[in-house]
């Protein structure tokens, strides 16, 4: 059983990386990757929310939607659960941990619209994961998202110092770099599934 979880973790982080292999979460990947500091903040917030959202949406699916034969409502219910969960976490952090609230601050509302969070919930249902497997999958996928985000932001910081041709500056070189990073991650495809 442990080998199954290890394959799930390695697969979610490296082989089937949400950004570089599944192309989920591209907007925050490109938008928040200008500096390593902001990438780390967004990465931490994504790990926290995606893990929690994966556990809650999997539990709601298994214990409510499947039990009452309402699987056709999964997408809308998942969206509502994720949005409500992020709002609840934001309110609780603001009240009980102002320091952590300030640290995660702007990233929490951004996560509500991050399709990677919804993607983790939908993929967990598609793969018939248990609540524990879905939680592990969500956490590992979020770590993979964060890894890609931090690597990409460090490359973008280096590119700011490089002599890039005028026609390639900005979004063009960012997209080329993201493509090269995705190709580099393809090297992990033999590790697991």
Model confidence pLDDT, tens digit, residues 88-98:
888 888 888 78
Model confidence pLDDT, tens digit, residues 8-19:
999 999 999 999
Residue that has been written with the tokens 């709601």 in this structure: 60
Model confidence pLDDT, tens digit, residues 113-153:
788 999 999 999 999 999 999 999 999 999 999 999 999 99
CA distances from 116 to 46, 65, 112, 156, 161 (A): 9, 21, 10, 22, 31
Q: What's the pLDDT at 191?
A: 63
d(CA 113, CA 111): 5
Domain ranges in the chain are 2-186
**Which tokens is 170 given?**
């900005």
Q: What's the pLDDT at 2?
A: 58
d(CA 51, CA 44): 11
SS3 158: helix
**pTM score, two decimals?**
0.88
d(CA 185, CA 187): 5
Model confidence pLDDT, tens digit, residues 41-53:
888 888 988 999 9
């Amino acid at each position: 059983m442990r080998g199954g979880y290890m394959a799930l973790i390695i697969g979610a982080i490296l082989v089937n990386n949400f950004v570089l292999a599944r192309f989920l979460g591209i907007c925050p990947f490109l938008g928040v990757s200008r500096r390593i500091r902001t990438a780390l903040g967004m990465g931490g917030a994504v790990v926290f929310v995606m893990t929690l959202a994966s556990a809650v949406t999997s539990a709601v699916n298994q214990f409510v939607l499947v039990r009452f034969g309402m699987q056709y409502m999964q997408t809308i219910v998942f969206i509502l659960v994720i949005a409500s969960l992020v709002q609840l976490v934001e309110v609780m952090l603001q009240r009980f941990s102002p320091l952590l609230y300030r640290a995660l601050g702007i990233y929490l509302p951004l996560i509500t619209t991050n399709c990677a969070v919804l993607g983790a919930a939908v993929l967990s249902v598609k793969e018939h994961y248990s609540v524990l497997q879905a939680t592990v999958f969500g956490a590992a996928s979020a770590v993979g998202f964060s890894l890609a985000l931090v690597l990409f932001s460090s490359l973008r910081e280096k590119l700011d110092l490089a002599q890039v041709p005028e026609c390639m500056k900005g979004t063009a070189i960012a997209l080329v770099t993201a493509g090269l990073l995705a190709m580099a991650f393809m090297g992990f495809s033999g590790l697991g599934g």
